[in-house]
């Protein structure tokens, strides 16, 4: 994968916990400063990764609200795991007209995490 979303959080540890426990991401690395604050973390999901950092005033890389889409093979099982972990679902499981099955949840800082079977850019999935 050559595109890596980067999100800034007021509470990076809470974001990492949700992504790991509810959404099944694996923490590849988490770098902390001397105070123990996460300064950079990389979490992987399948062949993709998301970068997490702290939100700081005046930071050129500060992000606002984001929507991130993640491909999963079994959205129903993924949804069940997230619900069991306490995720806040904002879109229940739905079969889309383009053939995907999807659902979505919001994290503690209003970012929307969408999960489904659609594989963007896959051969034969785009119309001219």
Distance in angstroms (rounded) separating the CA atoms of residues 107 and 80: 16
Q: What is the pLDDT of residue 128?
A: 42
Residues 6+ positions from 9 with CB-CB distance below 8 Å: 15, 52, 53, 54, 55, 109
- What ranges in the chain are assigned the alpha helix state H? 12-21, 75-84
18: buried, middle or exposed (CB in 10 Å: 19+, 13-18, 0-12)? buried
Q: Tens of pLDDT along 36-88?
A: 999 999 999 988 999 999 988 888 887 788 999 999 999 999 999 999 999 99
pLDDT of residue 84: 97
Could you tell me the pTM of the whole model? 0.86
Q: Would you say the C-alpha torsion 36, 65, 111, 71 has a positive or negative sign? A: negative
């Amino acid at each position: 994968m050559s595109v890596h979303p980067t999100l800034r959080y007021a509470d990076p540890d809470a974001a990492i916990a949700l992504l790991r426990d509810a959404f099944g991401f694996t923490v590849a690395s988490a770098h902390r400063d001397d105070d123990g604050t996460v300064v950079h973390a990389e979490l992987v999901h399948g062949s993709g990764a998301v970068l997490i950092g702290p939100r700081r005033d005046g930071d050129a890389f500060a992000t606002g609200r984001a929507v991130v889409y993640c491909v999963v093979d079994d959205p129903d099982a993924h949804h069940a795991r997230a619900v069991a972990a306490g995720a806040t679902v904002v879109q229940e499981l739905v079969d889309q007209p383009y053939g995907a099955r999807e659902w979505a949840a919001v994290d503690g800082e209003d970012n929307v995490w969408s999960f489904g079977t659609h594989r963007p850019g896959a051969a034969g999935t785009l119309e001219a």
